[in-house]
Structure 1
Amino acid sequence: MPIRLNPFEHTPTPTFADRLREADRTLFGMWSCGGSPLVAEICAGSGLDIVLIDGEHSPVGLESILSQLQAVAAYPVVPVVRAPYGDTVILKQLLDLGAQNVLVPMVDSVEQAEAMVRAVRYPPQGVRGVGSALARSSRWSRIPDYLARASELVSLSVQIETADGLDAAAGIAAVDGVDALLVGPADLAASMGLLGQQNHPDVVAAVERVIVAGVDAGTPVGVNAFDPATAERYAAAGAAYVLVGADVTLLARASEALAERFIGASPEAPAAASY
């Protein structure tokens, strides 16, 4: 006799906020930027804590994000999805396709952060459109009381990436419904007039300033840091999580190392930019 599963016994996985709250150490993760579900699955099985699926600087759309979420679902890693920007409709779509943990880039003010909180919550607390019966987020109404419980089943992180965001970091960290911050040193450096200088002392000091603001507010702060020494410094400074690599950069550097070792060749610059 075949086993018949009760569809109403589905238990949602812990959110990113839950993982951060329960962690007894800094969490480490990487970006999935290539758009491949297979590569995302390889990253998910690496032993890292977080796979961050990038919808901002990567050639991915909703279908690709869905496929990557499905690919990593079998692993204990926590998936986070970065929206291309803080748009209510895009966040609704990401949530409905089953992104429990969303990250919004370029949040510069308390008002923006509050608007993002409203975007991920149903009325009356927010403005998220109600389509859960049609959506993977509720497993097509297989999660009991999904509408009533949705706020506890979703986590929202926002990025501090500009001088304005830096100045507002303490207030943003204190916004109810913002579960975590992520500092983007590359854009932050550019905003500070230090384009390409993520490890400049002023940028590092700014990142650590956000970490302190988060600690004071009780809100976890993460940092993007591909340089191992810098990543370790931020972890020691109190970063709750650090993103230490990306699929595309790992492939680029590793393939270059192979060419250098076996051919003695360095990568040639393209004759013209590819855009």
Structure 2
Amino acid sequence: MQLPQNAFKRAILEGRQQIGLWCSLPGSYAAEALAGAGYDWMLLDTEHSPGDPLTILAQLQAVAPYPVTPIVRPASNDAVLIKRLLDFGAQTLLIPYVQNAAEARAAVSAMRYPPEGIRGVSGVTRATAFGRVANYGKRAHEELCLLVQIETQEALDNLEEIAAVEGVDGVFIGPADLAASLGCIGEPANPKVVSAIEDGIRRIRACGKPAGILTPDTAFAKRCMEWGTTFTSVGVDATILARSAEALLKQFRG
């Protein structure tokens, strides 16, 4: 059995826009319902959701038959969490709260087997098709994709050093935490925040790395794409569910 190809990694490295959807609902049933919607990628979250590694496993299994790339966000830049998610079969990870090049290098190390990294070795995992993928240990890094999330002023200050770390495949701007870091919590449309995001995207692109972002604001998502984002998440499942339910009720109650 051959190592599965990472279509998302190839697409962003070739500069092809990838439209994504954020999935904060931890159930596999909801993930499967969304997997067939036609998005290029879906983010399975465990940082700001009730999800954990075991719920991620069920979600990965549920979305596997669909032509969408699952990206997993661990709760933190933790080598043990990263190891487990990779063993479960996740090929693309978004690591939150990366502040500097040292933290980016730590994420790269957690993604790779020795001698290049510290990922623990197990020959019978879902990632290896339970031992059926030929030369998985030697080739896994070819199809793994590491995205790092910058979401503070400190991270912006270190952006070029973070992007330059070998093994970082893309840089994602987290607008909510960035707004808080800039003293504008809950104000993602504040001109100060918007300016920082625009500058950040342009700097990421100048480093030769794909840039990404999450925003449910359709107009702003399009602006970010014009500025240069290559992987752009345009909605959150829980938000879509809550707001759509409210809008439906409003038609009947005024």
TM-score normalized with structure 1 length: 0.90
Question: RCO higher in 1 or 2 (8 Å CA, sep ≥ 6)?
Answer: 2
Name the counterpart of 1:5.
none
CA deviations on 1:181-218 (whole Å, 9 max, x unpaired) are 11010000000100011111111111122211221121
Q: Distance in 1 between matches of 2:28 and 2:153?
A: 35
- Pick aligned residue for 1:43 from 1, 10, 34: 34
1:55 aligned onto 2:46: yes
- Pick aligned residue for 1:226 from 197, 213, 216: 216
1:160 aligned onto 2:150: yes
Name the counterpart of 2:70.
79
- Pick aligned residue for 1:16 from 1, 8, 13: 8
Asked if 1 retains the 8 angstrom alpha-carbon contact of 2:6 and 2:144, the reply is no
211-220 or 234-243, which moves further after superposition? Answer: 211-220
Asked if 2 retains the 8 angstrom alpha-carbon contact of 1:227 and 1:244, the reply is yes
The amino acid of 1:12's aligned partner reads P
Q: 1:124-273, aligned counterparts within 5 Å? A: 124-131=115-122, 133-264=123-254
Larger Rg: 1
The amino acid of 2:180's aligned partner reads A
CA deviations on 1:7-66 (whole Å, 9 max, x unpaired) are xx3440325322212453x21111111111121112111111111000100111112101
- Two-structure CA RMSD over aligned residues (Å): 1.2
Name the counterpart of 2:84.
93
Q: Distance in 2 between matches of 1:148 and 1:254?
A: 47
The amino acid of 1:65's aligned partner reads I
The amino acid of 1:242's aligned partner reads T
The amino acid of 2:167's aligned partner reads G
Q: Distance in 2 between matches of 1:161 and 1:129?
A: 29
Asked if 2 retains the 8 angstrom alpha-carbon contact of 1:16 and 1:78, the reply is yes
The amino acid of 2:207's aligned partner reads A
Asked if 2 retains the 8 angstrom alpha-carbon contact of 1:92 and 1:129, the reply is yes
Query: What is the SS of the residue equivalent to 1:41?
Result: helix
122-131 or 202-211, which moves further after superposition? Answer: 202-211
Q: Distance in 2 between matches of 1:136 and 1:80?
A: 16
Q: Distance in 1 between matches of 2:77 and 2:241?
A: 29
Query: What is the SS of the residue equivalent to 2:178?
Result: helix
Give the CA deviation at 1:96.
0.6
Structure 2 residue runs of 5 or longer lacking an equivalent are: none
The amino acid of 2:60's aligned partner reads L
Asked if 1 retains the 8 angstrom alpha-carbon contact of 2:25 and 2:49, the reply is yes
- Equivalenced residues, count: 254
TM-score normalized with structure 2 length: 0.97
Name the counterpart of 1:30.
21
Give the CA deviation at 1:153.
2.1
